[in-house]
């Protein structure tokens, strides 16, 4: 069997496959998909305080993808520490906590709060800073699309964080390579990309948008070639590991990202189609390596032949 282990942001992952935050819930998956198979598990982004989220409908299907606008619904840091962490402590899978916020202070306070919790210090292996949510008015894609802001958030969170930092970038900007370099400079240990692409769909009978907020973030195979190119560009521009995300539906798609230079991958939309898909993607990467005579997954990272 080829070796699948990789190291990202100082965390040892037994394979490169993770879920994308907000697309797969460990509790819901109990008895369906063993999360211990994953390289790491990433719960839905948390914010300092509870958020009720955006108006419905929050999801709609589009050609080869879907739009979402959840609006970061979550119960807040306190509830995460009290309820979710003890549940996650029962598993051995590395946990990466996705943190979102509307202000730099909110990001910093949330990450600092995690660092003050004994259980979090034990089981949280890294933080993913979500400065790329397309569905809030402040602090999401607005931060990630400006290299200066992306750098500032990363630097401020770095100051208070007891955990390695992964910064999740947005594709909704022309300056994503600059943003990647800026967060590396500001102390990020890894970069994940891409988050969803702004999109809109309109019901022509009612003349109303199909998403309650009017627009949302597009994900799924429709965005994969865009994501692969962005990951390729960023992986060549920075020295820290890159996690590739965007429309991975099967093992071959994950392998594309690895060849483009990603050290790890996250699977999002595919989990809605088949919540067991990540296990098969892991097996499929193994089979590809085996068939190609590779001993270690790291042999193919960045090895696209141009």
Positions touching ligand DHB (CB under 6 A) are 22, 45, 68-72, 130, 132-135, 195-196, 217
Residue with tokens 């051995």: 92
Give which of 250, 5, 41, 219 is closest to 133, Cα–Cα: 219
User: Is the backbone of residue 211 left (phi > 0), alpha (psi -120 to 50) or beta?
Assistant: beta
H helices of the chain, where? 76-79, 85-88, 104-115, 118-123, 141-144, 147-160, 176-185, 224-237, 251-260, 270-273, 277-292
The CA-CA-CA angle for residues 3, 241, 187, to 5°, reads 145
Choose between 68 and 263: whose C-beta lies nearer to ligand DHB: 68
Contact 42, 128 (CB under 8 A): yes
Q: How far is the CB of 236 from ligand DHB (least distance, A)?
A: 24
Contact 196, 269 (CB under 8 A): no
Choose between 195 and 263: whose C-beta lies nearer to ligand DHB: 195
Q: How far is the CB of 72 from ligand DHB (least distance, A)?
A: 4
Give which of 46, 40, 127 is closest to 84, Cα–Cα: 46
**Whole-number Å distance between alpha carbons of 182 and 172:** 16
Choose between 150 and 289: whose C-beta lies nearer to ligand DHB: 150
Contact 133, 141 (CB under 8 A): yes
Choose between 49 and 280: whose C-beta lies nearer to ligand DHB: 49
Q: Say which residues have a Cβ less than 8 Å from residue 136's Cβ, sequence separation at least 6.
A: 71, 72, 100, 102
**Token representation of residue 286:** 């193994």
Choose between 215 and 294: whose C-beta lies nearer to ligand DHB: 215
Residue with tokens 């590779």: 294
3-state secondary structure of 264: strand
Q: How far is the CB of 197 from ligand DHB (least distance, A)?
A: 10
Choose between 15 and 68: whose C-beta lies nearer to ligand DHB: 68
Q: How far is the CB of 36 from ligand DHB (least distance, A)?
A: 25
Q: How far is the CB of 12 from ligand DHB (least distance, A)?
A: 25
Please tell me which residue in 133, 186, 190, 242 is annotated as part of the active site. 133
The question of whether 133 is a catalytic residue gets the answer: yes
Q: How far is the CB of 21 from ligand DHB (least distance, A)?
A: 7
Catalytic residues: 133
């Amino acid at each position: 069997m080829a070796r699948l282990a990789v190291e990202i942001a100082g965390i040892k992952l037994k394979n490169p496959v993770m879920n994308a935050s907000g697309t797969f819930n460990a509790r819901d998956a109990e008895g369906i998909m063993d999360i211990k198979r994953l390289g790491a598990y990433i719960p839905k982004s948390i914010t300092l305080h509870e958020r009720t989220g955006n108006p419905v409908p929050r999801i709609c299907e589009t050609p080869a993808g879907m739009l979402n606008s959840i609006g970061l619904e979550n119960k807040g840091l306190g509830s995460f520490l009290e309820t979710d962490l003890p549940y996650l402590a029962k598993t051995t899978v590395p946990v990466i906590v996705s943190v979102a916020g509307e202000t730099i202070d909110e990001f910093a306070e949330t990450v600092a709060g995690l660092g003050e919790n004994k259980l979090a210090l034990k089981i949280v292996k890294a933080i993913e800073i979500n400065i790329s949510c397309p569905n809030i008015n402040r602090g999401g894609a607005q931060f990630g699309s400006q290299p200066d802001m992306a750098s500032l958030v990363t630097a401020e969170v770095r100051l208070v964080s007891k955990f390695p930092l992964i910064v999740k970038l947005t594709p909704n900007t022309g300056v994503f390579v600059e943003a990647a370099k800026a967060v590396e400079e500001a102390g990020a240990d890894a970069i994940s990309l891409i988050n969803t692409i702004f999109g809109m769909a309109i019901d022509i009978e009612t003349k109303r948008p199909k998403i309650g907020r009017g627009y949302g973030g597009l994900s799924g195979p429709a965005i994969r070639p865009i994501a692969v190119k962005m990951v390729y560009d960023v992986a060549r521009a920075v020295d820290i590991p890159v996690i590739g995300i965007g429309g991975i539906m099967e093992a071959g798609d994950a392998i594309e990202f690895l060849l483009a230079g990603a050290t790890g991958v996250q699977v999002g939309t595919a989990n809605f189609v088949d919540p067991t898909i990540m296990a098969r993607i892991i097996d499929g990467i193994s089979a590809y390596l085996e068939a190609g005579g590779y001993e270690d997954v790291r042999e193919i990272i960045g090895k696209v032949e141009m």
